[in-house]
Amino acid sequence: MWQEKESKLYKAFEFKDFISAFSFMTRVALLAEKSNHHPTWTNTYNKVEIWLSTHDAGDKVTEKDRLLADEIDALNTN
């Protein structure tokens, strides 16, 4: 479940290994590029953390972030 923290949507994802995590990040990158809405994220081995906010709206959570979060959730078949 996405959490709203410090004016950002946040979620951590855990995978079985690095390749699975990186594959997920690649699919998220394609979604982000398509919507021209890019996340802040980190990856350590099998864990991916994502923060979403809309820079044009003063780094606040907007509908654009919620839509991308839903699309990211749909990718995660973990």
Which class does domain 6-75 fall in?
Answer: alpha beta
Per-residue pLDDT band at 57 (split at 50, 70, 90):
confident
Question: Model pTM?
Answer: 0.91
pLDDT score of 75 more than 70? yes
CA distances (Å), 24 to each of 6, 27, 48, 59, 69, in order?
25, 5, 9, 24, 13
Q: What does the pLDDT look like over 10-55, one tens digit per residue?
A: 999 999 999 999 999 999 999 999 988 889 999 999 999 999 999 8
pLDDT score of 77 more than 70? no
What are the structure tokens assigned to 12, written together?
């951590």
What are the structure tokens assigned to 78, written together?
């973990």
- At position 10, the amino acid (one-letter code) is Y
Judge residue 72's burial from the number of C-beta atoms within 10 Å of its C-beta, 0-12 exposed, 13-18 middle, 19 or more buried.
Answer: buried
Cα 73 to Cα 56: distance, rounded to the nearest angstrom = 23
